[in-house]
């Protein structure tokens, strides 16, 4: 049997903080199958490597026989967690929630074992639908105004003289009560959820339960070395993307992040991570090769060894000089669906349109690795897409929104 | 037909402030039967003249055909309005709420017409029992944290570094929603309820209703000229008390308050009120006679002309010197059920116990006007009760709680 300390040691690789470590050790030692609360908001998901860190930690616990309780916050989604939001979120319909829930489950089972023995699927409407106003108010009576207002985000709103709607203020109590209803033993979350999950510990104590252990996981900077991965910044690697797309995006990773990403997003042995770090530090071709290895290791996790090896070959074929450009110039684009002709003409103002047309028809132009030979075909472009013209010229597209 | 301005003029005698005066005039002009929200907490009631001010205003509107909606806040009582309270109130059982509700209705119908045509009896559990959590949260989303925290009492708590429990913070939203559910046109309240009822106006607007008019009524100092009437200060005249008791208590009224009390607690014509005021200002026997008239007018309202006249005679018989003592000395009592012997002995330490006994048996002792001739009978005493020994000696009892 895996000992509690072995479990803690395994998880420590991607753990930022643990609240309730001793309880967690006791729980693991008890031999009981633990209940791991995994609460999600039923908004349209697009999970990336950052989210997967928690999923892999949960997957590890599943492999030891513990149960992940995938909790669709259908009631709370209708309210909207104000975390990091300035405005009240639009209300979702039942249908939208159902659709988002299915999409979410599909994505999380890219990592989690989808086996009813270790994956329980619940909705918080199960307890919120039958709950009376008097019950809810009973829960609210256990919490004070100042406890809730202590939340960073609320403090920030107050400093900025922005309003806090009352449903936002009580949101943490609802998310916290989910832990009571599920009898959660442990939950693994990003640090932005720490406040809400601590409220869960608080309420569990008041209900006579041992408070859940809260593990916050490590967060890495996004591909560009800036903020953490996010859709809006387009600096992320989506879990549900093809092996080729994941590989291509990973190869744009900032060299300084190779060690961190290898630690957090792979299970490569520590010596191998250190080796990658050393090679990354040398820069140039050495760093590029380290990055190829890292990309292959990450893509392997989601698509398997064969697909990862194939993506590596494709990538190298596309960038057939077998070296990555040190820096890729940006190309501003205002049209979201330009023709190839217009796109390439914008990148090569030095060429006539006839010359550009010949270049395209001759197969010399690729967009995100894919050849486009019809000069008049419209292509969908996005910020971050790479336009390759000939063998040595690359442009990274940047969408500029028109007035 | 009574015009809107006549109604406003009639009510103005006991009105402190009106919020939504123009809407109220329009409503009265519409000829529609208005709905007057009269919300009460289902705690043990002991209504006094101060409460009756609102009741008489409502009674006037009933007489014009409008409907008083007597709303028992059974759900909100279970929560507890934090108004003026430092501590969370004890939770009442269903039974206690039912008992208090009956007692309340009995007392308010001392003034209000108990006729189903103009008195509708409702409970707010009618809408709170079937309300879902999601509905409630929808209501909460219409209100911001700062709007609620603006309440005086909450500001005071913050200044005093006292906690505000979350159920207390949202209480005004619940009381406010009652106005939406009842489609309240007008409510007549003490100024301490202004915040909660303004929240009602706020929510009604958000629900597309014309906001209720909120009328706050005048508050007078208690009998002793200090704080407003309250049970704990024992400076009040209870509505449900006997004519004799009301009369006796009214005769202890501070002379300076004769004009105010005549204005707020009677419907005597203004000239007569002014006459009473002039006579009160003269002091002595003149003030005493003015007070006798005032007491008779007030007691008449609750017990009728005959009973009031009888109480006046009884009062004068008891104080058979036909003059009230200028000041009555206090007598401290620690035992709540002393024997007459002990009570009188405490008042007359100069007499032997045998002399005291003879005094009692001889009929020379009265407690609150009632003769007691058994020296060993235990009597129930309360602060404010008057012990008369012989013809010229009075003591006002004051209960001192033992250690």
Give B238's strand partners.
Answer: B48
At A199, which helix (H) or strand (E)? helix A194-206
- The whole-number pLDDT of residue A402 equals 54
Q: pLDDT category, A393, cuts 50, 70, 90? A: confident
Instruction: Tell me if chain A has a CB within 8 Å of the CB of B88.
Output: yes
- Lowest average pLDDT, out of A31-45, A386-400, B20-34, goes to A386-400
For B161-166, what is the mean pLDDT? 91
Q: For chain A, give the mean pLDDT.
A: 89
For B384-388, what is the mean pLDDT? 82
A115 closest CA partner among A62, A165, A152: A62
Percent of chain A at pLDDT exceeding 90 = 60
Asked if the model's pLDDT at residue A350 lies above 70, the reply is yes
- The whole-number pLDDT of residue A206 equals 94
Helix (H/G/I), strand (E/B), else coil: A1: coil
Partner-chain contact A148 B170, CB within 8 Å:
no
Asked if the model's pLDDT at residue B112 lies above 50, the reply is yes
Interface size A-B, in CB pairs within 8 Å, comes to 93
Instruction: Tell me if chain B has a CB within 8 Å of the CB of A75.
Output: yes
- Lowest average pLDDT, out of A80-94, A248-262, A334-348, goes to A80-94
**Tokens representing A383?**
């910020």
Which CATH number is A330-399 given? 3.10.290.10
Could you tell me the strand order of the sheet in which B67-73 lies? B15-19, B213-217, B186-189, B35-41, B67-73, B119-123
Asked if the model's pLDDT at residue A322 lies above 50, the reply is no
pLDDT in tens, A79-105: 765 554 444 455 667 788 888 888 899
Instruction: Tell me if chain A has a CB within 8 Å of the CB of B93.
Output: no
Asked if the model's pLDDT at residue B366 lies above 80, the reply is yes
Asked if the model's pLDDT at residue B31 lies above 50, the reply is yes
Asked if the model's pLDDT at residue B86 lies above 50, the reply is no
Partner-chain contact A141 B169, CB within 8 Å:
no
Q: pLDDT category, B403, cuts 50, 70, 90? A: very low
Q: For chain B, give the mean pLDDT.
A: 89
Strands (E), B49-177: 67-73, 119-123
Instruction: Tell me if chain B has a CB within 8 Å of the CB of A136.
Output: yes
Helices and strands in chain A: count of H runs, count of E runs: 17, 11
- The whole-number pLDDT of residue B82 equals 58
Partner-chain contact A164 B148, CB within 8 Å:
no
Instruction: Tell me if chain A has a CB within 8 Å of the CB of B77.
Output: no
Q: Strand A365-367 to strand A370-371: parallel, antiparallel, or no bridges (unpaired)?
A: antiparallel
Task: Count other Cβ atoms within 10 Å, centred on residue B338.
Answer: 18
Give A387's strand partners.
Answer: A367, A395
pLDDT in tens, B295-324: 999 999 999 998 999 999 988 887 654 444
Please determine whether the domains at A4-217 and A330-399 fall in the same fold group of CATH. no
State the SS3 of A38-94. Answer: EEEECCCCCCEHHHHHHHHHHHHHHHCCCEEEEEEEHHHHHHCCCCCCCCCCCCCCH
Partner-chain contact A134 B173, CB within 8 Å:
no
Q: Return all residues near B144 (Cβ < 8 A) that are at least 6 apart.
A: A163, A164, A165, A166
Which residues in chain B are contacts of A75 at CB distance < 8 A? Answer: 133-134
Give CA separation, B131 vs A131, B98, B139, B180, B260, in Å. Answer: 9, 21, 11, 14, 45
CA–CA separation, B192 and A334 (whole Å): 60
Ranked by mean pLDDT, the top range of A22-31, B98-107, B355-364 is A22-31
Torsion of CA B261, B263, B264, B266, to 10 degrees: 90
Q: Strand A35-41 to strand A186-189: parallel, antiparallel, or no bridges (unpaired)?
A: parallel
Which residues in chain A are contacts of B137 at CB distance < 8 A? Answer: 78-79, 167, 170
pLDDT in tens, A174-225: 999 999 999 999 999 999 899 999 999 999 999 999 999 999 999 888 888 8
CA–CA separation, A179 and A31 (whole Å): 21
Give the CATH class of A4-217. alpha beta
Report residue B349 CA to chain centroid gap.
39
- The whole-number pLDDT of residue B41 equals 85
- Look up tokens 């704080």; give the residue: B227
Q: How far apart are the first and last CA of chain B?
A: 63
Instruction: Tell me if chain A has a CB within 8 Å of the CB of B97.
Output: no
pLDDT in tens, B219-269: 888 888 878 888 777 888 999 999 999 999 999 999 999 999 999 999 999
State the SS3 of B290-312. Answer: HHHHHHHHHHHHHHCHHHHHHHH
Q: Return all residues near B205 (Cβ < 8 A) that are at least 6 apart.
A: B211
Asked if the model's pLDDT at residue B57 lies above 80, the reply is yes
Asked if the model's pLDDT at residue A270 lies above 80, the reply is yes
Q: ipTM greater than 0.90, yes or no? A: no
- The whole-number pLDDT of residue B312 equals 92
CA–CA separation, B323 and B285 (whole Å): 7
Which residues in chain B are contacts of A78 at CB distance < 8 A? Answer: 134, 137
Please state the domain extents for chain B: 4-217, 243-318, 330-399
Percent of chain B at pLDDT exceeding 90 = 60
For B202-217, what is the mean pLDDT? 96
Percent of chain A at pLDDT exceeding 70 = 94
- What are the start-end ranges of the H helices in A226-374? 243-250, 258-265, 270-282, 284-318, 340-347, 353-361
- DSSP letter at A229 equals P
Burial of residue B114, with CB atoms counted within 10 A of its CB: 0-12 exposed, 13-18 middle, 19 or more buried: middle
Q: pLDDT category, B90, cuts 50, 70, 90? A: low
- Taking CA–CA distances from B163, the nearest residue in chain A reads A144
Which CATH number is A243-318 given? 1.10.240.10
Partner-chain contact A137 B173, CB within 8 Å:
no
For B196-204, what is the mean pLDDT? 96
CA–CA separation, B36 and B40 (whole Å): 13
For B351-373, what is the mean pLDDT? 86
- Taking CA–CA distances from B82, the nearest residue in chain A reads A141
Give CA separation, B160 vs A45, A155, B156, in Å. Answer: 46, 20, 6
- Look up tokens 């009301």; give the residue: B246
Q: Which of A79, A145, A151 to probe by mutation at the B interface, max B CB count within 10 Å?
A: A145
Instruction: Tell me if chain A has a CB within 8 Å of the CB of B131.
Output: yes
- Lowest average pLDDT, out of A230-234, A262-266, A296-300, B396-400, goes to A230-234
- Lowest average pLDDT, out of A18-32, A377-391, B117-131, goes to A377-391
Determine contact, residues A306/A261, Cβ cutoff 8 Å: no
Nearest-Cα distance to chain A for B3, in Å, is: 42
């Amino acid at each position: 049997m895996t000992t509690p300390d072995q479990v803690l040691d395994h998880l420590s690789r991607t753990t930022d903080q643990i609240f309730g470590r001793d309880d967690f050790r006791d729980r693991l030692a008890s031999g009981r199958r633990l209940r791991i609360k995994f609460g999600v908001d039923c908004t349209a998901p697009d999970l990336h490597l950052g989210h997967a860190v928690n999923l892999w930690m949960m997957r590890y616990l599943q492999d030891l026989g513990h149960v992940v309780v995938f909790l669709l916050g259908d009631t709370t989604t209708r309210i909207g967690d104000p975390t990091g939001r300035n405005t009240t979120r639009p209300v979702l319909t039942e249908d939208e929630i159902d659709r988002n829930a299915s999409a979410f489950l599909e994505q999380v089972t890219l990592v989690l074992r989808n086996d009813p023995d270790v994956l329980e699927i619940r909705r918080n409407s199960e307890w919120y639908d039958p709950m009376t106003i008097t019950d809810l108010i009973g829960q609210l009576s256990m919490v004070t105004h100042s406890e809730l207002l202590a939340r960073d985000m609320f403090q920030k709103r107050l400093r900025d003289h922005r309003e806090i709607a009352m449903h936002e203020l009580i949101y943490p109590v609802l998310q916290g009560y989910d832990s009571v209803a599920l009898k959660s033993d442990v939950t693994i979350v990003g640090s932005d959820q720490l406040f809400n999950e601590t409220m869960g510990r608080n309420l569990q104590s008041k209900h006579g339960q041992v408070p859940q252990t809260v593990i916050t996981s490590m967060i890495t900077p996004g591909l560009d070395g800036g903020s953490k991965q996010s859709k809006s910044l387009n600096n992320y690697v989506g879990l549900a993307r093809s092996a080729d797309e994941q590989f291509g995006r990973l190869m744009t990773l900032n060299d300084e992040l190779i060690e961190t990403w290898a630690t957090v997003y792979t299970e490569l042995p520590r010596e191998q991570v250190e080796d990658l770090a050393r090679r990354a530090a040398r820069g140039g071709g050495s760093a590029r090769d380290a990055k190829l290895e890292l990309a292959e290791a990450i893509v392997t996790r989601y698509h398997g060894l064969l697909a990862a090896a194939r993506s590596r070959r494709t990538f190298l074929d596309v960038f057939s000089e077998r070296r990555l450009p040190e820096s890729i110039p940006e190309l501003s684009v205002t049209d979201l669906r330009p023709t190839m002709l217009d796109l390439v003409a914008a990148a090569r103002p030095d060429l006539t349109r006839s010359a550009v047309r010949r270049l395209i028809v001759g197969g010399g132009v690729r967009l995100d690795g894919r050849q486009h030979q019809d000069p008049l075909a419209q292509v969908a472009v996005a910020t971050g897409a790479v336009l390759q013209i000939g063998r040595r010229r690359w442009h990274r597209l940047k969408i500029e929104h028109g007035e």
